[in-house]
Amino acid sequence: MWQLWTPADMWSFVEKAPAGDAAAVLAQMDACAETSWMMNMGPRKGELIEAAVRDRRPRRILEVGSFLNYMSIRMARSMPADATLTTIEIDEETYDVGGRIRRRALGADVLGRVDAVRANFSDAVRTLAKPFDVVLMDHWKPDYARDLEALRTRGLLADGALVIADNVLFPGAPELLDALAVPYLRTTDEVSGQACLRAAADLDEKTLRRLKAERAGIRRRGGDDAAADLREADAVLAAAARLAAARPARDAVSGRGRLVPRTS
């Protein structure tokens, strides 16, 4: 599902911000996202990641999935004066508008240390030569595990590198959770842990109920095309059920913050 606002809508907000004022640009991006859903990470997670960048003082940062450069701007303004940021985006429209937004927000001294690449990560990774100290993954969730392994096997993760992956519980990146084998999740954080598991489980239940109701409606109406429609409905329902089963259960996080095994 695509967001309700388009990249052009975002720019209509951002262009009201003064040039070179990153805080004002970010505020306009947040205002756009609050008006109608947009795939921004948002200020709460954004501030956490900026704090991590300031604390780590990385020399090289990699962002996979720039979208409209919200986190590119946040990380670029918080990284050390001698650090560089490489940000990768596959979509042409978001890459173009995101570049305009980034140039609106950042001064020339910082812009010169940001390398924006328009490519699929599987292609871009072949061009990366030096290891990164911080990696932010916010692209296609099923690719997280594969792409993290590509970074590891190519020696592109510095010793002690910090890797941040967004939305691993909702909408979910079960392949990454499997690859990491029982990650540690803090239940007190409202953007992850138990609250997120419950939200994902609630959405899965509502989706499965709706799909089952639609299938029952096809059976009741009958008709010449009912058989084909039922096959299609069965396939959609089966795919939704597989996705729901792949997520951690709503009660998978214990009081100490660890994932516990699914029992069914």
Which of helix, strand or coil describes residue 247? coil
Phi, psi at 263, each rounded to 5°: -100, -5
Phi/psi at 93 (5° precision): -65, -50
- Give the pLDDT of residue 31: 92
The whole-number average pLDDT for the span 145-155 is: 94
pLDDT tens digits along 80-121: 999 999 999 999 999 999 999 999 999 999 999 999 999 999
Q: How confident is the model at residue 52 (pLDDT cuts 50, 70, 90)?
A: very high
Residue 245: the pLDDT is 74
**Torsion angle, CA of 115/121/125/128, rounded to 10 degrees?**
0
- Report CA 3 to chain centroid distance, whole Å: 13
**Pairing status of strand 132-137 against strand 60-64:** parallel
pTM above 0.85, yes or no: no
CA distance 6 to 41: 16
Indicate the pLDDT class of residue 240, thresholds 50, 70 and 90. Answer: confident
